[in-house]
Amino acid sequence: MGSEFKIPIIWQDENILVINKPAGLLALPDGYDPTVVHVKEILAPEYGRLWIVHRLDRFTSGVMVLARSAADHRHLNTQFQERQVKKIYLALAHGDPVWDSLIVDQPLTTNKGRRNRTVVDLHGGKPSITHIQVLKRYGSCALVEAVPQTGRRHQIRVHLASLNHPIVCDSLYGSDKTLKFEDIFPTSADQSHFSGPLLDRPALHARALELNHPATGERVVFEAPNPSDLQQSIDVLNAQTG
């Protein structure tokens, strides 16, 4: 089967398949358009039947684990439900936070409105907690690490937006649709090698996943390098700060 997406394999054995999901690729089949390609559709011809354990948003890149049997799926699913899995994300967030780290404890309600947004709902929302730490400041934005303690839809995106620091290029939650070179260097004439935007999707990447291996019980950590669009944006921002 042909596809524009190439899925890097981080780890494989008889029980699990760990991938670095490209941004733009659906983790699960589209409920409205079954012709849209998704993770299992690409991988199944080579790796056989696979079970989705958790999802990443379509335009979020990074580490995803798939089970290779129903028993492995049950084992991993229990870990996620009991919050035994540690997920670490990197994001570029707008603005310059006044804090270095904090815990966001804001209950969330999903699928609000025609755009299927998630919103903070202090009265009817489900408990949602994210640990956030600033890794580097650029003035106009900051590189942050986000560790969700719960697993609500769009959780990191909504929690950062609730702090008035929406993720760069996350137009669903209050950001511009693209990040261009001139947004970072507005007076520079050296733009010849940047023919398009640096980023045109939310600047969010699932960097690492820590869990117990379903067969051995060993605590294992899987990491995914930054995709080229996010890394290029970080490199340009680093050049700005010297």
d(CA 60, CA 122): 26
Q: What is the pLDDT of residue 1?
A: 45
Q: What is the pLDDT of residue 213?
A: 98
What does the pLDDT average to over 165-178? 92
Mean pLDDT of the chain: 92
Q: What is the pLDDT of residue 83?
A: 94
| C-alpha pair distances (Å), 36 with each of 21, 24, 27 | 15, 11, 11
Q: Report whether pLDDT(180) > 80.
A: no
What does the pLDDT average to over 169-179? 89
| C-alpha pair distances (Å), 112 with each of 34, 53, 85, 148, 201 | 23, 25, 28, 21, 21
Give the list of residues 6+ apart from residue 26 with CB closer than 8 angstroms, or none. Answer: 36, 37, 38, 39, 58
E strand map for 68-203: 86-94, 101-105, 108-112, 117-120, 129-137, 141-148
| C-alpha pair distances (Å), 95 with each of 27, 36, 148, 219 | 30, 35, 21, 36
Quick one: three-class SS letters along 65-77?
Answer: EEECCHHHHHHHH
Tens of pLDDT, residue by residue over 18-68, are 999 999 999 988 877 888 899 999 999 999 999 999 999 999 999 999 999
Give domain status of residue 193, yes or no. Answer: yes
Active-site entry in 30, 33, 57, 200: 57
Yes or no: say if 58 and 66 are a contact pair by the CB < 8 Å rule: no
Give domain status of residue 215, yes or no. Answer: yes
What confidence tier does 196 reach under pLDDT thresholds 50, 70, 90?
Answer: confident
What confidence tier does 194 reach under pLDDT thresholds 50, 70, 90?
Answer: low
Lowest-confidence pick of 9-13, 173-177, 192-196, 233-237: 192-196
What does the pLDDT average to over 64-87? 97
Q: Report whether pLDDT(191) > 60.
A: no
Q: Find the CATH number of the domain harbouring 204.
A: 3.30.2350.10
Q: Which amino acid is at 87?
A: K
Q: Report whether pLDDT(195) > 90.
A: no
Give domain status of residue 24, yes or no. Answer: yes
Q: Is 57 a catalytic residue?
A: yes
Q: What is the pLDDT of residue 160?
A: 98
Residue 226 DSSP one-character state: P
Q: How many domains does the chain have?
A: 1
Tens of pLDDT, residue by residue over 98-136, are 999 999 999 999 877 767 899 999 999 999 999 999 999
Give domain status of residue 190, yes or no. Answer: yes
Q: Which domain holds residue 29?
A: 9-241
Give domain status of residue 123, yes or no. Answer: yes
Which of residues 183 and 200 earns the better pLDDT score? Answer: 200
Q: What is the pLDDT of residue 31?
A: 74
Q: Report whether pLDDT(235) > 50.
A: yes
Give domain status of residue 1, yes or no. Answer: no
Give domain status of residue 3, yes or no. Answer: no
Give domain status of residue 4, yes or no. Answer: no
